[in-house]
Structure 1
Amino acid sequence: MSLQDGGTPEPHDDRPAPADRGGPSVAPTGPCPGPGAPCSGAAADAPRRGRPRSEAAEQAIFDAVVGLLEEGVPLTELSIERIARTAGVGKATIYRRWPGKEELFVELLRSLEPPDPVLTGASVRDDLVTLLEMLRQRGLAKRSSAMLHNVFSQMHLYPKLWEAYQSNVVEPRRRLGLDAVRRGMERGEIRDDLDAEFVSDLFIGPLLLRTVIRPGAPLDPGLAERVVDAVMEGLRPRA
């Protein structure tokens, strides 16, 4: 029984529960044929009304993690049991949503960052400026949040979490830039005699330098445009 059920945390249930890991399910209003058998009729197809009950539990879990991190609790000490106790839910409630704490942390970090931009493909320059501007805004957000700065500084010491973050957050953004560069090569806006990943790094590199290697470097408005225009000037197709 969990917080959204109006009960108390399960003190001993530490196993992942099979239900609703892919999202909240609809509780049937009538009897089902039996365990494992699908419900039929209106009970199975009844639409959800209002805010899904699982959203309240998920927000409580996120708030608990953020609160513990802001208190200075190291990532390595954030166990599922401690998170559940702080959130007022059972451990099974967490395991129904995430296989482990690495996946929970990654989803939380993703929710705290700017969303990945939608690149229209209409203009290679505009797509790259949009992507770099998102990275600039992310860098500013990281600087203004002591909690985010603390988490990212610790993630390098937590290989499983760092790998999960790279795979689920960093890699999709890298592919956005790489796809934009390839479109530019196909359209003749960027020279195609260079490796596309190398060219993508030329665009992304200055933002990473100023947000990771030199965290105090300026991130002024207009930086994205200046970087893209300067790099594209040197990457024009040769006559």
Structure 2
Amino acid sequence: MSRVAEDRGRTAGARTGGVAPRRRGRPRSAAADSAIVEAVLRLIEDGVPIAELSMERIAREAGVGKATLYRRWSGKSALLLDAMRSLDAPCPPLEGVSVRDDLVRLVEFLHRRGLAKRSSAVLRTVVSHVEAQPELWAEYHETVVRARHEALLGALRRGVATGEIRADRDLDTLAALFVGPMLARALLHEWRQLPEGLAEDVVDTVLEGVRPPAAEPGTGPGTPAH
């Protein structure tokens, strides 16, 4: 078949919804993917600044060719995003019985992640870089941050429904009060050890401030007027 006939055949296939045959090639290597992401994490953990974290250096550290990186990622920012996501863990299951216990479990989850040197190092180094690129930051938020935030909001909504949390407080603000202490320590005070019992202390302190006021004796519904 001539080159022109081949081109016409492809054009006709496209017009009728036909799909061009898939090109054959070597399957993507999971081992290479892991080696590349591990190389990024290792370099960041060793204190290499983002500006010095070139694709060439990552390839050398991973023991692969630079072309291997570009077949998988469009550039350094996309690779850094996947390195961040590789450290993510699913939120712990919540029993839904005690709002306080659910909140402690969620905050303790953040506490444990803050104890991990690698997670803290990557968070401090990469977040500002990714956040400066709206599309990447939005993708990270959708794939990692949103699930944790929704789990926390769910626990807070149950607290409002059971009367353990005041209904006149903004839940997004309350969520930030639970998460903020862990993020601040991980980002600003990485040299400090996070003490045991910190999650309970944070949760109890916040809940104490947002607990509905108890009705005074003799002022509740049904109290006879004098």
Q: Does the pair score TM above 0.5? A: yes
Corresponding position: 1:105 with 2:77: no
Q: Is the 8 A contact 2:45 2:121 kept in 1?
A: no
Secondary structure in structure 1 of the residue aligned to 2:194: coil
- Structure 2 distance, partners of 1:103, 1:168, is 14
Q: 1:94 to 1:36 in 2, by over 3 A?
A: farther
Q: Residue 42 of structure 1 corresponds to which residue in structure 2?
A: none
Could you say if the C-alpha distance between residues 86 and 123 of structure 1 is closer, same or farther in structure 2, counting changes exceeding 3 Å?
A: same
Residue 178 in 1 paired to residue 162 in 2? no
Q: Displacement, 1:227?
A: 1.8
Choose which of 11, 31, 37 in structure 1 pairs with 2:21. Answer: 37
Of the three residues 160, 182, 198, the one matched with 2:133 is 160
**Any gaps of 5 or more consecutive residues in structure 2?**
1-18, 216-226
Residue in 1 that maps onto 2:187: 212
* TM-score, structure 2 as length reference: 0.66
Structure (1/2) with the larger helix percentage: 2
Mapped partners of 1:231, 1:200: distance in 2: 10
| Offset at residue 90 of structure 1 (A) | 4.2
Q: Does 1:189 align with 2:164?
A: yes
Distance 1:237 1:136, change over 3 A: same
Residue 68 of structure 1 aligns with an amino acid whose one-letter code is: L
User: How far does the alpha carbon of each residue in 1:190-237 deviate from its partner, in whole angstroms, 9 at most, with x for none?
Assistant: 111111111222222333343334445552211111221232223223
Equivalence for 1:127: 102
SS at match of 1:156: helix
Report the TM-score, using the length of structure 1 for normalisation: 0.63
Q: Is the 8 A contact 1:64 1:86 kept in 2?
A: yes
**4+ residue stretches of structure 1 with deviation over 6 A?**
none
Q: Is the 8 A contact 2:111 2:182 kept in 1?
A: yes
Q: Counterpart in 2 of 1:198?
A: 173
Root-mean-square deviation (Å): 3.5
Q: 1:213, 1:73 → 2: CA distance?
A: 18
User: How far, CA to CA, are the matches of 1:234 and 1:70 in structure 2?
Assistant: 38
Q: Deviations over 1:146-169 (max 9, x none)?
A: x95376146435623983655543
Equivalent position of 2:36 in the other structure: 61
**Higher Rg of the two aligned structures:** 2
Q: Which amino acid aligns with 1:233?
A: E
Residue-pair matches, total: 191
